[in-house]
Every structure is written in structure tokens, then in C-alpha cells.
Amino acid sequence: MTNTTESRNPRTLNLDELGTEEFLTVMNDEDRRVPAAVAEALPEIALAVDLIAERMRSGGRLIYLGAGTSGRLGVLDAAECPPTFGTDPGEVIGLLAGGEGAMFRAVEGAEDSASLGADDLRGINLTLDDVVVGIAASGGTPYVIGGLDHARGIGAGTVSLTCNRGAPVSDHADVAIEVDNGPEVLTGSTRLKAGTSQKLVLNMLSTATMVRLGKVYGNLMVDVKATNIKLRDRVIRIVRAATDCSADEAKAALDQADNHAKTAIVMILCGVDAPTARERLATADGFVRSAITRQ
């Protein structure tokens, strides 16, 4: 394995001599390489999405497992799923080496323990219906490898996400996603291009999975939870966009639908009451498009 995440970038050998704008230009140029690197991994990302969606349809969970920046990005993506897609907090979970405290302060040595990764998965009662996504920029983090080995041992789905080709962690997962961004601007600082690419991939994994699970209608977040004023206004806009109704009609339907956009949309488009809309959605496995077209 060529460890590109730790290699020196020949374009930035004189980083400390560059003027501010010149430095930022070089950094921006390097960042432009990230989406192209992610694009090369799209086939593997698609396989991972299909695996996650299949297991979650059977009642399984999506579990991110990582250390340092990689783990924090997993925690971030997991935290965004309940407000965005209306998932239960226990459906998408982020596990970080060293526990919750490591989100804000490095816990030295935690990522070096393979047994700790397995222990953390045991702590959430991992089952064979779950999928574990092990995130490791370098691709050799013992915490992640130990967790993936435990997951495979009980039959859970496994995905690895790394930023090195031929990384050790890739041999420990059902689906291996490798995104080679090249050396970092600041040697070894994987919170930069590696972190950006990981964030892009995690965006894809969670968003595409939720689309496959019926939590999106068109390009609208129809399972979003109206937990504050901003989101309440967003839900009204979502219902209006989906039905071409007035603001008053959207508000009235949402009041009857307990502020659930999906239910309100089906009510308006099908001319039915809230209980009937909920029944249609249940029959359609939560897919709005199927609920409004069924006879």
C-alpha cells in the first residue's frame, strides 16, 4: 500500500514561504481534486448504499465506526439523520473511539485498540441486520478493523471507507470504498482533503439510502421533523411545493397530520383525511409516490 495520506505534497514543499492568497490558491486547487477522486469510487459507494438500504428495510441500523476526524464525521452524519429524515435516533448511530468525550478532545490510544472497536459494537447490541461502516483515512486503524471483524463474525453487513488504495481495512469489509485524494497540503493532516472526501461519501451513503427507503418525494425532505420555527416553515414550503396548494391549505393539512409532511401531501393530492392518508402510506411502505397513485 502506498500511504498517500502521509506522503508529502510536492506542490506545497514551500508552504511556509507563500503569501496568504497564494497559499489559499494552492489549497483551493488541491481541494478541487476531491470530487473527482470520489467519482472514481461511485460503483463501490452504490454497492454500499444498496447493502445499507436492504438491511435497514429489514429493521437493521446504519452504524458509523471511526476514530479522530473520521469518527467525528460519522457522528456528524448520524446526528443529522433524525431532523432531516425523521429517523429514530437509534437507526443511524455514530461510534467514536474514546467515546463521546473524544468528539471534543483527543483520547490518546483509543484508536489503537482493536478490541475496543468490537466492545463498542457489543455495547449497542449489534445484530446481523445492521451495517457497520468503518471510516479510516489511513486505512489501518486497529479500532476500525477490530470493529469490522466483529461485525463480520456475527453476519452484519460491513463497509470500509478509506483514502488509500489497497488499504488494510479494505480486506475486512464486504464493500471497500477507497478514495485517493493524493497527499494533503499539510502533510498527514487528514482533516483536509481526506476529511472532505469522507464527508462527501457519507452524504451520499445516508442521503441515497433514505431515498431508497421512501423518505424523499421528488427532491423534497418529506419526513423532516418540524422541531423549530425554521423547520415548521420549511415543512409548509415542502407541502406547498409537492401539491401546489396555498399556504393556508398546507397549514390546515399539517395541523390534521400532526405536522407530518408526507401525510399532509397525500391528504391534499388524494383528497382524503389524515387517517386515510396514513393508511395509504403504510400500504405503500412510506413512499409518497406509491401512496398517491394506488387505487
| CA 127/CA 56 separation, integer angstroms | 12
- The sheet that has 157-162: what strands, in order across it? 92-96, 62-66, 131-136, 157-162, 175-178
What residue type is assigned to position 213 of the chain? L
Q: Is 100 designated active site?
A: no
Q: Residue 1: what pLDDT?
A: 67
Please calculate the CA angle 109-114-115 and round it to the nearest 5 degrees. 100
pLDDT of residue 36: 97
Beta pairing partners, 132 = 63, 158
Ranges of residues in the chain with a pLDDT under 70 are 1, 108, 295
Concerning whether 111 is annotated as a catalytic residue, the answer is: yes
Which amino acid makes up residue 14? N
* Residue 59 burial (10 A CB sphere; 0-12, 13-18, 19+): exposed
Query: Which residues share a beta bridge with 136?
Result: 162
Q: For residue 259, which of 241, 293, 286, 234 has the smallest C-alpha distance?
A: 234
Annotated active-site residue in 30, 91, 111, 184: 111
Which cell numbers in the block locate residue 183?
497527499
The pLDDT score that the predictor gives to residue 111 is: 85
CB atoms within 10 A of CB 251: 17
The single residue of 6, 54, 80, 279 carrying the catalytic annotation is 80
pTM comes to 0.94
Q: How far apart are CA 124 and CA 134, in angstroms?
A: 15
The torsion angles phi and psi of 90, rounded to 5 degrees, stand at -90, 0
What pLDDT was estimated at residue 99?
83
